[in-house]
Amino acid sequence: MTTVCGYRVSVARATAAISLVKPGERLSHRTSLSWLSAFREAVMEEEERKRRVALRRHEYYQRTREARVEYQREHYQAHRTAVLEQQREYYQANSETILERCRRYSQEHHEAKLDYWRKYHLEHRAERAENGQRYNREHPEVNRGAVAKYQRKHPGRRAVSEAARRLIPLAKVCAMCGKEARVRHHPDYSKPLEVVCLCYRCHRVLHLTIRREAP
């Protein structure tokens, strides 16, 4: 490929267009038009060729997608141990590069990722709730360990939450979006009777915002 007048065309087609101008010949208006016309045709043919190649690739990808996915699944099942070992070795050898790439991507696409996960959670709310309940039933020790870890890290919060649940009636609407309120949020746990009633979604978004803005 070569660049002529800002266009990317094959060397053969550019040479064919340029060959219309004879060595030492002064470019007349007619010769210039002939050269430009030939060059324009070469550019259009090259763009059409690229379009056909891209279309064939896309059609082939769509036609063989299920077969390729099935092959990859079968290959993974048949060589699972070897594949995992290979991935583990690659990660250990390139862990710093991979982490830096993931960190940079997360920073550059932070808002897009949040939007994606918010949309995903809303569309799969029932499925996620069912999966979470099933996981807690199958792995009760993990759930108990997470609760115990949180209580060790924040020893007084559970007592404050229980006191607020007994003493403060839950408002009917969320203070942020106006939907049905489901939880009592403590902006400051040193003030146990000062709560904000929120729905589950706004409560989760609020904590994500606080976590992101924390130093």
pLDDT of residue 6: 46
pLDDT for position 27: 46
Q: What are the 10-residue block averages of pLDDT along the chain, 215 residues in total?
A: 47 52 48 63 82 93 91 91 91 90 88 86 86 87 85 84 87 88 88 88 85 68
- Residue 74: the pLDDT is 92
pTM of the entire predicted model: 0.39
List helix spans (H) across the chain. Answer: 11-18, 29-78, 80-93, 95-108, 110-123, 125-138, 140-153, 157-167, 200-213
> In 10 A of CB 17, how many CB atoms?
21
Query: Among 5, 6, 35, which Cα is nearest to 21's?
Result: 35
pLDDT computed for residue 148 by the predictor: 86
In this prediction, residue 161 carries a pLDDT of 85
pLDDT digits (tens, 9 = 90+) for 16-26: 555 544 444 44
What is the residue extent of each domain of the chain?
Answer: 2-63, 111-153, 157-215
The string of pLDDT tens digits covering residues 143-186 is 888 888 888 888 888 888 888 888 888 888 998 888 899 999 98
Say which amino acid occupies 190.
S
